[in-house]
Structure 1
Amino acid sequence: MIRAVLVAFMISMKLHAGRALLECTADTSADLVRKTASGKARELRVGGKGRVVLLDFRTAVIEGWIVEKATLLLHIASGAVPLKLEIAAAPFPWSESETGAHALGATKFHAFDVRESKFGWIEIDASPALLRGRGLILRAPGKTETTLHSRETVQYSPYLIVEGSK
């Protein structure tokens, strides 16, 4: 069902030049305490003590755009749906196996409300300014742990809907 909706959305993108569905090209769950990453896993853990998720998207289609809106689509694998997620632009290069996230330092996170959608999906309207980094870093405030599906699940891969103009 969700797959059909996404395909329909991609077809409609061709009709609306100011909207693009960006696929996730890299994702990983990083444990800041143990300094480990799990980039090939089918699930990404966020929240709890020192767990963040890093996401990167194929942005070539929006090069030169003035982005007006960015909506992050994530699928919950297990755990509670968080009321808020904190998101930052990744200020450093990273890969699925080596994040460098343990050196977050003064990285500025912004809190965004999470909207629960159908079939386990959640939506977050994020600041377009976050697209200027090297991907996104997500963390959940408090002790609540949530597990998200990664791009390796294919049908539940993270997506980013971007609206703007050239």
Structure 2
Amino acid sequence: MICTAGDEVALTPQMFEMEMRKRDLDVTAFWSIIMPNDYVMLPGFDVDDDALAKRKQRDAKLRVRSIAEKILEHKWERDVVKGKFPKIKSRIIYPLFVKWGVTPSWWKVSDACIGCGRCSRVCPVENIDLRKGRPEWHNNCLSCTACYQICPVNAISYGAFTRGKGQYFCGLDPLES
């Protein structure tokens, strides 16, 4: 299993392994790849500055190559960045977020919206439709923030939590997507 994160994965590998065991599947290796942070949905969280994001991208490319070599050589290992307080983050904060945070009701669009539809096109679960030129979220939202990140005029918000925060375009040009 390979998981990506802005800084750390906490207990994600263990949680994944438990789910796989329920299906009688074994997990032989875990790796994490640190990527530029794009999490903006809670106070105190924001995207990385440009210099840090570029460094993380450069390091991630090297990490991917290293992991690929290990996979080709069948060198299974458990090499992840758990970070600080992984139990609190995975066993307390995560379930609360899933219960109250993974919902379309927090997503809003301001009058700055230009009706470009990028938010709808980038949604990985096709959860956003345009109605009268404005995004409308349905009930399958994963709270992945792709719609927020890609908006070229920053018209999409997650309640007040994203006010004044940056966007991470993941190498995409929001004007061309």
- Name the structure with the higher strand share: 1
Same fold (TM over 0.5): no
Q: TM-score scaled by structure 2?
A: 0.25
- Name the structure with the higher helix share: 2
